[in-house]
Structure 1
Amino acid sequence: MPDLPIDPAIQPRSLLEAQRAAALAASASGPDLRHRLAALARIDSILSHSGDRLHAAIAADFGHRAYPETALAELIPLRASVRFTQRRLAGWMRPRRRRVGASFLPGRAWVMRQPLGCIGIMAPWNYPLFLSVGPLIDALAAGNRVMLKPSDLTPRFGALLAELLAGQFDQAEIAVVNGDLETARAFSALPFDHLLFTGSTAIGHEVMRAASATLTPVTLELGGKSPVIVCPDADPGRTARSLMIGKLFNAGQTCIAPDYVLVPEHRLDEMVAALLREAGRLYPRITGNPDYSCIISERHRHRLEGAVQEAERQGATLRYAPGHAEEREQARASGRLVPTLVTAPPLDCTLMRDEIFGPVLPVLPYRSLEEAIAFVNARPRPLALYCYTDDRRLERMVLDSTISGGGTVNGTLLHCAQPDLPFGGVGGSGMGAYHGEAGFLRFSHTRGFYRPGRFSGFTTMAPPHGTMTRRMLPLMLGRRSRDVRPE
């Protein structure tokens, strides 16, 4: 008799059922402060004692990734997030008083926060640790149980994460589900109490469709094309160095990486030269450079190369730092892509339509700052926006006139690492935010309560309505007493 195919949904579904049963058997208010702090301490212990192993797994999945990139972008921000949350969690959990309307005095109103229940987290491959454990910290702080689905492009990391979490948590608290695309589809269709997905906009559409079948609320952290506006007063040297550090970090495989740069027309050549100079200083060579990361897969490298070639065929100019052009074939053979600046790209080419997610940077001129702002606003709302200027008036003009998930002024990427800043997209770049208190609230249900005083106007004006009602209603409505007549 032939073997029957295994339904990839069975294991995730059974894990969710076990977590739901455990949640129902516990307090509706979730774990107390002591238990939540202990859970966060266990996460911190994993990060502290297994950081080298986690980096090695990520580097193996990439083909190569520099240890400082894993430390700076994943380990350090996560440990800072744990400490920040531990210090403030008691205050976040405390019931908060709310104002009572004058008509309902004397009375008392307050809110209390309870865990949503079982949270699903779908993490991408580019920062697999930060984007798995970051929302996990917030969900645990809010008292939830969690199921994690790492990307199938980082299988070594996913296996190690499952091992490390299983050593500290029961699967009824935290479970890791590894698997292929079919497993991911089954995971996204489960009736979680909340589902957080980080990844591409195209897959985000599929996740939201799947979640809608069970009315599962979702937080989508997507991407899009994050612009850089270089204002006329910006120093080209400082701007170029900061910009290229952010763009080439993780070989550009960052959802909030600069995706294109808008430069004053009269400074275009100066800015391009500065950007190329800084790319060469940061990475004097590409092949064999231990500081420069590989592209995650051959498919992604082919996608990037195809987009660059298409732009060149349509009239764009490709620019490289000294020595980088000669390394293109060697770099390609080692799974890398050399940093590439693209000037005069056609606006309808793939590089200007789709998120790039690699070390390729289009640079476009503008004639006025108003024109640059209009260019950004004519496109889908980005996950991040970057502005370089030392003029506070220009800074305010850019920030007040644009909409983005977040951003950094005179820098890139750094807003994402601030534990007290909400992080999330808007419009096509996502919905919902987390990190810090925003994450605690994202994974909590805020319940509102009211307790009337001993003497309540609501009961005083109960039927049968008489003189008291006729006298009180005009006062409550802000009218003269003659405006209300008995029937």
Structure 2
Amino acid sequence: MTDNDKTTSAAVKSQSIITTVEQLQKQFSRLHALSRSNPINDWAIRERLLDDLEMLLSDNRENLAHAISADFGHRSESETQFAELFPSFTGISHAKKYGKSWMKTRRASISAMYRPAHNEIQPQPLGVVGIMVPWNYPLYLAVGPMIDALTAGNRVMIKMSEAAPKFAETFAKVVDHYFSSDMVCVVLGEVDIAEAFSKLPFDHLLYTGSTEVGRIVMAAAAKNLTPVTLELGGKSPVIVTKDVNLESVVNRVMMGKTLNAGQTCIAPDYVLIQREHHQHFISLAIEWLQKHYPNIENNEDYSYIINAAQFNRVQGYLDELPADSVHNLTGVDANPEIRLMPPVIVSEPALSSQLMQNEIFAPILPLIHYDNLDDAIQFVNERPRPLALYVFGNDDNEIYQVRTQTVSGGVCVNEVILHVAQHDLPFGGVGDSGIGAYHGKAGFERLSHMKPVFVQAKLNGMNLLLPPYGDLFRKAMALFLK
């Protein structure tokens, strides 16, 4: 490489971090042109990009975790390892293991009428994929879509959340170091930059965040006919059947509700439970917290609420409730100065309350009573379809009833949250909780054009079906239309 080449390379590299609308539009135009003139159809290039992403994470795992913690005031680094770094590494490994086979042209079946022709499906890169990242899991929800986009041969632009600025800046710098701006660039900025980002004519736009903002993003994308994947949220219910080990239920539900202090789009939002289990559930939850988060006010494993606005929002949900319905599980009060919010259980909140009207996104767990399983199913089905649904029980018939009579983005049986980490399962919502799914092969296909190809045989009988239509044509139609 000559000195001039090095200078040019450095100049291009500096374009990897975008901070203005003008830079945003200029960089998009550059990537769009490259995607048309130089599509990435070679597996070796895609694999090398995944290697670079893996190296980025391996070399910078501590810096990235520290940056996330700084944005939260305190975020458990163990949680970052478990919920962000681990699924990122396994996602890359999965893509490298299977990506080459996913991108191969595959045969599809064909009607006997058209033989000896055959059908094929040829995966091709879409071009430029836009990724809009939320603040709650800013590493995994940038890297996860990025894995799928790169495996599918796309160029990528990533808009980081302005609510996690320290991580956004750190991530932008490391991406700038490991990737050319011809392949991946990171966009920083406030709401005006996010709005401009959503209006770009991407070949696909993937947004993770609230349903309210998801509607705005989809409306902006629709003006360009940009296809979207929207990973939203909502109120993910837990249904506890009558024949159940309640201690096991509490163990899993409280894990899901305390992970990242409840700031998880698929966290258990509320529990539908029979009345006789209510008080026992609360007692077991208190014991669970004493065991897993002792001295919660000084516990390194427990995370804080991301910012004052989010803290005040959820504190407001509690303030409007009757005091005797709120059960403090730790004996420690919420601390607005450091945004520490210890877990609480709320007994039978009014269905009109903000707590039951909005996604909670905090360590607040409502318990709602039901009399029979049909009532619990009806309760779920009368509300917007959730991103996740969790059912606990030992009766296979009741589990089957819940699975078949409800519709949700995903389901866990006798577990919570872990379906998101399964790379052979598509992850996505339905209705108000999202559009489209990704992860693994589903993500590869979502961010590829699965092009149908009809291949005619050199010797075929199609000329027999041309006009003028005579007896042979009529006999063939009579045979085909039987």
TM-score, normalised with respect to structure 1:
0.93
What residue identity is the alignment partner of 2:472? Answer: M
Q: Does 1:206 align with 2:216?
A: yes
- Measured after TM superposition, the shift of residue 289 of structure 1 is 1.5
Offset at residue 455 of structure 1 (A): 3.5
Asked if the contact 2:425/2:439 (under 8 Å) is kept, the reply is yes
Are 2:27 and 1:19 aligned?
no
Indicate if the aligned counterparts of 1:141 and 1:440 stay in contact, CA closer than 8 A: yes
The reply on whether 1:442 has 2:450 as its aligned counterpart is no
Match of 2:357 among 333, 353, 360: 353
Shift of the alpha carbon at 1:23?
1.6
Q: Tell me, what secondary structure is at the counterpart of 2:56? A: helix
**How far apart, CA to CA, are the structure 2 residues paired with 1:271 and 1:88?**
43
Q: Secondary structure at the match of 2:351?
A: coil
Kindly provide the amino acid, as one letter, of the partner of residue 328 in structure 1.
D
Q: Distance in 2 between matches of 1:267 and 1:405?
A: 27
Matched with 2:50 is 40
Corresponding residue number in structure 2 for 1:397: 401
Aligned to 1:161: 171
> How much has 1:447 moved relative to structure 2?
0.8
- Secondary structure at 1:385's aligned position in 2? strand
Q: Give the Cα–Cα distance (whole angstroms) in 2 for the partners of residues 447 and 436 of structure 1.
A: 19
Answer yes or no: is 1:290 the counterpart of 2:300: yes
Question: How many angstroms apart in 2 are the aligned matches of 1:454 and 1:293?
Answer: 66
Q: Please tell me whether residue 320 in structure 1 is matched to residue 328 in structure 2.
A: yes
Aligned to 1:264: 274
The answer to whether residue 189 in structure 2 is matched with residue 185 in structure 1 is no
Matched, 1:452 2:456: yes
Secondary structure of the 1:295 match is: coil
Of 123-132 and 460-469, deviating more is 460-469
Cross-structure match for 2:22 = 10
Query: C-alpha distance in 2, partners of 1:449/1:339?
Result: 55
Which ranges in structure 2 are unaligned for 5 or more consecutive residues? 1-17
Q: Which residue matches 2:128?
A: 118
Q: How does 1:112-261 map to 2 (within 5 A)?
A: 112-261=122-271
Kindly provide the amino acid, as one letter, of the partner of residue 60 in structure 2. S
| Structure 2 residue 445 is matched with structure 1 residue 433 | no
Contact 2:19 2:189 in 1 (8 A): no
List runs of 5+ in structure 1 lacking aligned partners: 1-5, 479-487
Equivalent-residue separation in structure 2 for 1:320 and 1:328 (angstroms): 8
Q: Is the 8 A contact 1:287 1:334 kept in 2?
A: no
Cα deviations across residues 271-303 of structure 1 (Å, max 9, x unaligned)?
Answer: 222123212322222222111111000010000
Q: Equivalent residues in 2 for 1:300-311 (5 A)?
A: 300-311=310-321
Does structure 1 conserve the Cα–Cα contact (< 8 Å) formed by 2:21 and 2:196? yes
Q: How far does the alpha carbon of each residue in 1:453-484 deviate from its partner, in whole angstroms, 9 at most, with x for none?
A: 23433221111222321221111111xxxxxx
**Residue 481 (structure 1) aligns with:** none
CA distance in 2, matches of 1:355, 1:463: 63
Aligned counterparts of 1:123 and 1:234: Cα–Cα separation in 2: 38
2-side partners of 1:415 and 1:24: how far apart? Answer: 36
Separation (CA, whole Å) in 2 of partners of 1:62 and 1:336: 10
> Distance in 1 between the 2:216 and 2:268 partners?
26
Q: What is the aligned counterpart of 2:373 among 363, 366, 369?
A: 369
Q: Is the 8 A contact 2:133 2:209 kept in 1?
A: yes
- % identical equivalent positions: 42
Partners of 2:349 and 2:424 in 1: how far apart? 38
1:99 and 2:109 are equivalent in the alignment: yes
Aligned length: 465
How far residue 450 of structure 1 moved from its aligned partner, in angstroms, is: 1.1
Give the structure 2 partner of residue 476 of structure 1: 480
Partner of 1:411: 415
Hey, what does 1:339 align to over in structure 2? 343
Post-superposition offset of 1:238: 1.3
SS of residue paired to 2:341: coil
CA contact (8 A) 2:308 2:336 kept: no
157-166 or 141-150, which deviates more: 157-166
Between the aligned partners of 1:44 and 1:407, the Cα distance in structure 2 is 29
